A and B are shown apart, each in its own frame.
Chain A
Amino acid sequence: MPRRSGSLVHAAAHAFGAACLLFSLAASATGLVVIAHPESGLVNLSRSQVIQYYTGRAKSAPGGEPVAMIDVEPARARFYQALLGRDVAEIDAYWARLKFSGQTLPPMLVLTDEAALERVARQRNAIAYINEDKVDKRVRVVLKLDQ
């Protein structure tokens, strides 16, 4: 199971995300979609299912395999805003409390959509979110998020 490497990496990711915000908005006029491995048990997910996975409330797919969530840096703020109406600082604070127990782990962070695609294509139980126009055959869209 992948582990977060430390708070420094995380902080750098944040800084990078903030810097790329303008670019992202310009580059991705299209909506975000949640993607999964085409052969996984995850086919169509409801919005609340996605929320449960991304907040750690639900940990496994209907088939019983544990679900690995992936945060994608360029769209992260947008994603949580669209999904929960929260900004990332709040989400970080939420995970900070859970980190004490070590029983519930936060999503793994990747820096680009391409990295996210690659990861989902490789790992059967992984889910991630990317701009809709970046979707290719390696993955399956399980939910479209309204903007």
Chain B
Amino acid sequence: MTNKLLHPLKERLNRSLVLRTTLLIVATGVAVGLLAVWAVLTITGQRETERLYLRLDALVRTVERTASIAAYTHDARLAREVASGLLANRTIARISISDDERELVRLDQPGHRELMPAKALRHPLYSPFGDGEVIGQLELVPAVEIISATARESSWFVALVLIVVVSAITLVLIWAITRHVTQPIKALLDELQLIDVEFGDSLLSIDERRGDEISRLAWNVNNLIARMRGTLRAERDLRAQHQAAGQKWRLIFENAETGIFTLSREGVLHDWNPWLALTLGLPVNEAQARGKPPVNLARLLDDDRLPALVERVISDFQPAGAEFAIPGKRNRWLQIVLTPLEGDSNLVQGIANDISESKHALARAHRIAEQDALTGLLNRRGFERVGDDYLRACRPRQAIAVMLIDLDGFKQVNDTFGHDVGDQLLIAVARLLEDHVRQSDVVVRLGGDEFLVLLHDLASPEAAAKVAGKIVDAIARPFDLSGSMVARIGASVGVAYCDNALQDMDDLFRRADEAMYEAKNSGKSCFRVAGKNDPG
């Protein structure tokens, strides 16, 4: 319960300077007042008591001589006179005067009730004739109750005055501090809360010219506001400029016909532009990307070369690039160039260009260059490219054979029926050759009426010879051409067999050529196999 009540009070104390200051002053005032009252009560009480005792002593001294005489002459009547005179003072509870033999008189204050035991004050009485002889005693019991009551009364009066003074000072202090310090600060605070810096407000309620601390504070705040307004304006202009520039770059980034992205060392894509998103099927904007796992480019491209490329770019701190196939799209290629980022060793920047078109064009150009336009077979250049691959793969029981085929009688057909027919014939021969070898064997038109067949995966020279024989026989049959024409030609074939990779293609070619001439010289339409290590 108390806690509940205390909590808002504490809260208010923490929030209110006025309340806190006032409470502090009041607390100090009360503390100082209590301390002062306590001190006054203690000290004044003591001093008042001492003073009363001194007065008693003085009183006794004034009657001492008469009392001495009474004791000296044993005059009880005189002693009673003295005693009753003293009792007129109410601070005396009891008085007795004795001579050297007996008590002459003993009187009590009428109506006095002894509440506290009091110590009696004893005055010796001397002989009035000066020889210092003690001839009696005056005994006096002070009325302690009355003395302390009197002392208390006067102390309380002083304390009361003190309380009034301290209270007055406290009130004046509270008024002064509230009026001159806390209230202006609160006013300042209220005004500050409502101030609109951009609108150009300033603090008005405090007179800046007054020159005290609070008005100087207001002056400083106004200055600060003015400066802040300037800064804000400058910053706004700068932001607009920045935004315009950003817009420009953003347009370039978003509309570029090329992929732009940043990539972490682990291959995770951080930022990418719409082009890359469309090309790789990534989320186009952040809204789409939200909630999806981060995209790892290496995994996306399914290519181990990418992490290596990233590592190299970071460690060499130099741009590097490579070509990658786009997954899920046939014959589409990206050339990716990565550039290290200044100041961040865990991030690279990348550009991806679609190079499919140029790659296709290149492939087409290659194909055209290596193809015989008439028959669609490989030409000599095409053979030079693929031939070596077969040669390198050859070994015993997996040998290759190069077969050179020269048509016999082609010139006459060409001369007799014209080039069109000659071309038809060449096409027919090409198809025939293709029909007599495996798909994986190579058929080449070297030029004119000269063909080449490369057989591979051969178990023995006999296998090659068998194919050669079949080819010779097939070409020797008449060809039905368009316009119900029939052409009769033949073929001279030279075969060079090879079962090790140590020979080179030129050598093999030369041996086949020689074997072919041997066949031609042997009456044509036949084949010859070159000797194994026949140098020529």
Contact = CB atoms under 8 A, between A and B. Distances in A.
Interface of A: 51, 55-57, 84, 86, 94, 97-98, 100-104
Contacts of B69: 94, 97-98
Nearest 3 A-B pairs (CB), nearest first?
A101-B77, A101-B78, A56-B73
Interface of B: 65-66, 69-70, 72-78, 81, 128-129
B78 A98 contact: yes
Contacts of A56: 72-73, 75
B78 A97 contact: yes
Nearest to B77: A101
A102 B77 CA distance: 8
Contacts of A55: 72-73, 128-129
A97 B128 CA distance: 12
A86 B131 CA distance: 13
A39 to B, nearest CB: 28
B129 A101 contact: no
Contacts, number: 38
A81 to B, nearest CB: 13
A100 B78 contact: yes
Contacts of A103: 75-78
Given A55-B73, A56-B75, A97-B65, 8 more contacts: A56-B72, A57-B72, A57-B74, A97-B78, A98-B78, A101-B77, A102-B77, A104-B73
Contacts of A98: 69, 73, 75, 78
B69 to A, nearest CB: 5
B82 to A, nearest CB: 10
Given A86-B129, A94-B128, A57 B73 contact: yes
A51 B131 CA distance: 12
A94 B69 CA distance: 8
A86 B127 CA distance: 14
26 contacts: A55-B72, A55-B73, A55-B128, A55-B129, A56-B72, A56-B73, A57-B72, A57-B73, A84-B129, A94-B69, A97-B65, A97-B66, A97-B69, A97-B78, A98-B69, A100-B78, A101-B70, A101-B75, A101-B77, A101-B81, A102-B77, A103-B77, A103-B78, A104-B73, A104-B75, A104-B78
Most chain A CB within 10 A, of B70, B73, B128, B129, is at: B73
A99 to B, nearest CB: 10
